[in-house]
């Protein structure tokens, strides 16, 4: 991967965020649906997996709830990619992190990985159309550093900001 190109893209995110006048900030809020268009709520991702819900950015990530026909629910945080991918799926700008309370070394259900890669392929097409729109996202490592207790508890809830179950 060309690190100079990524540096320029990240710099553009910062410029877009700083250059936006305060009166126009509401218009720049990330509406994550654009990343997954044409997929919507309850979209079939294959292999029994469905995109159940997409939440607006909280603490630097878009949260997805992915559900399996067998009843399993998974929380996935979509973060800004910084260097090598950390999750089971990624794009040039995004990293899909399964929030299961682990350290990223455990084996994952292959069908979930394939469903997330399909979702990432859709996001890759859309992020290329307007990469500055994802300026509210942060890399996973920065999120862990900035919100350690919130992210540690994230694996116990599917809705960002909700009390742990």
pLDDT (tens digit per residue) in 108-162: 899 999 999 999 999 999 998 888 888 889 999 898 888 776 656 655 666 666 6
Specify if 165 maps to a domain. Answer: no
Q: How far is CA 1 from each of CA 25, 70, 82, 121, 132, rounded to the nearest angstrom? A: 32, 38, 11, 17, 19
Looking at the DSSP assignment, which residues form a beta bridge with residue 76? 64, 98
Looking at the DSSP assignment, which residues form a beta bridge with residue 94? 80
Are 97 and 140 spatial neighbours (Cβ–Cβ below 8 Å)? Answer: yes
Q: Please report where in the chains the tokens 């694996």 appear, as a residue.
A: 155
Specify if 26 maps to a domain. Answer: yes
Q: Is the pTM of this model over 0.85?
A: no
Cis peptide before 38 (omega within 30 of 0): yes
Range of the domain at 38: 3-154
Three-state DSSP state, 16:
helix
What is the average per-residue pLDDT within 6-20?
Answer: 41
Taking the CA of residue 135 as centre, how many other CA atoms within 13 Å lie in the half-sphere pointing to its CB? 18
Specify if 161 maps to a domain. Answer: no
* pLDDT on residue 81: 96
| Maximum CA extent, the chain | 48
Tally of domains in the chain = 1
């Amino acid at each position: 991967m060309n690190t100079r190109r990524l540096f320029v893209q990240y710099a553009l995110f910062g410029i877009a965020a700083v250059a936006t006048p305060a009166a126009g900030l509401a218009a720049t809020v990330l509406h994550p649906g654009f990343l997954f268009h044409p997929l919507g709520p309850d979209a079939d991702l294959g292999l029994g997996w469905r995109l159940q819900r997409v939440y607006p950015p909280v603490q630097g990530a878009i949260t997805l709830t992915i559900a399996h026909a067998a009843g399993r629910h998974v929380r996935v945080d979509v973060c800004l990619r910084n260097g090598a991918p950390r999750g089971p799926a990624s794009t040039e700008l995004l990293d899909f992190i399964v929030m299961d309370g682990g350290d990223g070394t455990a084996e994952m259900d292959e069908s979930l990985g394939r469903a997330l890669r399909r979702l990432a392929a859709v996001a890759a097409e859309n992020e290329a159309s307007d990469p500055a729109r994802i300026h509210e996202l942060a890399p996973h490592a920065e999120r862990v550093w900035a919100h350690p207790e919130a992210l540690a508890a994230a694996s116990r809830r599917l809705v960002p900001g909700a009390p742990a179950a």
